[in-house]
Amino acid sequence: MQINIDIDGNVFNPIYRPYLGDNTYTQIFYGGSSSGKSYFLAQRCIIDMLNGNHNYLIARKVARTVRKSVFNEICKAISFFKVTKLFRINVSELVITGPNDFQILFVGLDDVEKVKSITPKRGVITDIWVEESTESDYADIKQLKKRLRGRAAVSKRIILSFNPIYQTHWIYGEYFKGRWDDTRQAYRDDTLSILKTTYRDNKFLMPEDIRELESETDPYYRDVYSNGNWGVLGKVIFKNWHTEDLTEKARSFSTFENGLDFGYADDPAALIRSHFDRAQNTLYVIGAKYLHGLTNDLLAAECKNMFGQEVVTCDSAEPKSIAELRQHGVTCIAAQKGKDSVNFGIQWLQHVNIIVDSSLTELINELTVYKWQEDKDGNTLPKPVDRDNHLLDGLRYSLEIEMGWVGGRNIGGNIPLAGVM
């Protein structure tokens, strides 16, 4: 049964209106920050639910990121259309039941068994939306497509939404290569539609938001995050890493390297935990997290939860914070930073094989976008851009002894000879 409500077309950004009834099997909505793509997809989801016969499965790579992102977007859209009475929202189970018992189900792709078993109350899954799809592997999407089976009264769709990163990403090769260049705004064939949007397409942005996006001076960030273009890998610092599920392997580790980069509000505190296998020249990163707005007593509790009583190497620029962490029972030492320590640490890390647990999306983002500075002519400078590096800074601190960097200088020359540059 269809539920009829009066919706003013002006509540949608004009560029998205043609996609309200788009039934193309694979749909891609991507582009720059603040372009309104996620909110439009949330709006469309609710309209589909009101029209009937739709069951949505909405996913992100990591389950714990679902509630504060796409689940909230859907709840906001329900409230915006003033149809709260027509939906039953189960916050603990992350299930929203709409008219006639059709449902919106939420899942993290790191919960493999749930992905395989999750089933709507009525009918079959008709629409799969993967938010921040660049976090996901090809195998994740392939597994999800298997859920689009069975008869349904509506066309089935898989929807990917994301901010672009590098052209080496599998999504670019699968859907964009040979079809796309960044001068286009849209593409369509029988089975694929692509729409690229930027903040310029979002009429609901506040002036201060627009000013912030237009004030970006770094060429890469302006091109990718403001203009929504796919990035070129050339200036990225780390290319010698990949992701795996390290849950089982981590149980065999007996030694760990722990690091902390201090932060509070805009810049988060960053905790990171790894194991270095010297014989295999391989660094396994098994824990990493951002923490916002924590006083040092709360930060100490987080440190003890992740590191126990193991030594954690901290940014030496915060001696007062280190002292307070010690008072709260954290076994912490100050990093021995010095001239050229950043570049030395980068060079050391470039020569090892880095394997990151696939759940660590914040670190994955840093490794993906951390890049060298450029001069006005686009030439690479031997200095990294000082952003998107909180966890990477903590990682460098934690590995100082392995690197042979003690007392603010290189005493060991421990640049591994094996590995990938």
**pLDDT of 121 higher than 80:** yes
Residue 139 backbone dihedrals phi, psi, to 5 degrees: -65, -35
pLDDT over 90 (residue 166): no
Residue span of the structural domain in which 272 resides: 241-410
Residue whose structure tokens are 């400078």: 381
* pLDDT mean across residues, the chain: 89
Q: What b/e readout covers 382-407, taking b as 16+ CB neighbours within 10 angstroms? A: eebbeebbbbbbbbbbbbbebbbbee
More reliable by pLDDT, 121 or 368: 121
Q: How many domains does the chain have?
A: 2
* CATH number of the domain within which 109 lies: 3.40.50.300
Q: What is the pLDDT of residue 417?
A: 36
198, 98: one domain: yes
List Cα–Cα distances, 99 to 48, 49, 130, in angstroms.
Answer: 11, 7, 23
In this structure, the answer to whether residues 247 and 167 fall within a common structural domain is no
Kindly state the tokens that stand for 135.
């976090």
Per the CB < 8 A criterion, the answer to whether 40 and 12 are in contact is yes
Same domain, yes or no: 165 and 293:
no
What tens digit of pLDDT does each residue of 205-262 get?
Answer: 999 999 988 988 777 778 888 899 987 655 789 989 998 889 999 999 999 999 999 9
Last residue of a domain, one of 176, 195, 226: 226
Let me know if residue 155 belongs to a domain: yes
Split at pLDDT 50, 70, 90, the class of 340 is: confident
Closest among 205, 319, 328, 186 to 262, alpha carbons compared:
319
pLDDT class of 405 with cuts at 50, 70, 90: low
Question: Over 50: is that where the pLDDT of 413 sits?
Answer: no
The pLDDT assigned to 418 comes to 34
Cα–Cα nearest to 278, from 420, 418, 391: 418
Q: Which of 196, 226, 256 is the last residue of a domain?
A: 226
Location of structure tokens 């992740």:
306
Is residue 4 one of the residues assigned to a domain?
no
| Residue 403: pLDDT band with limits 50, 70, 90 | confident
Mark whether 104 and 197 lie in a shared domain.
yes
Residue 65 predicted with pLDDT over 90:
no
pLDDT single digits (tens) 15-64: 999 999 999 999 999 999 999 999 999 999 999 999 999 999 999 987 87
Contacts of residue 382, defined as CB under 8 A and 6 or more positions apart, other chains included, come to 343, 372
Q: Lowest-pLDDT range, 3-7, 158-162, 304-308? A: 3-7
Residues 136 and 194 in one domain: yes
CB-based burial, 47-83: b 16+ in 10 Å, e otherwise: bbbbbebbbbbbbbbbbebbbeebbebbbebbeebeb
CA distance 22 to 40: 13
**Counting every residue, how long is the chain?**
421
User: What value does the mean pLDDT take over residues 8-17?
Assistant: 91
By three-state DSSP, how is residue 269 classified? Answer: strand
- Would 252 be classed as within a structural domain? yes
Q: Are residues 28 and 173 in the same domain?
A: yes
Confidence band of 155 (pLDDT split at 50, 70, 90)? very high
Same domain, 154 and 212: yes
Instruction: Give pLDDT, residue 234.
Output: 58
CB 412 within 8 A of CB 336: no
| CA dihedral (90, 96, 100, 102) positive or negative | negative
In this prediction the pTM is 0.68
Tell me what pLDDT residue 421 has: 30
Pair 397, 260: CB distance under 8 Å:
yes
- The larger pLDDT score, comparing residue 183 to residue 93, is at 93
Do 80 and 39 lie in one domain? The reply is yes
Q: Is the pLDDT of residue 193 over 80?
A: yes
CATH, residue 263: 3.30.420.280
Statement to judge: residues 190 and 329 lie in one domain: no
Nearest by Cα to 128 from 153, 164, 155:
155
pLDDT score, position 406: 58
Q: What angle do CA 206, 131, 289 make, to 5 degrees?
A: 90
281 and 197, same domain (yes or no): no
Could you give phi then psi for residue 162, rounded to 5 degrees?
-175, 165
Q: What is the pLDDT of residue 2?
A: 63
135 and 264 fall within a common domain = no
Based on the fold, state whether residues 210 and 307 are members of the same structural domain: no
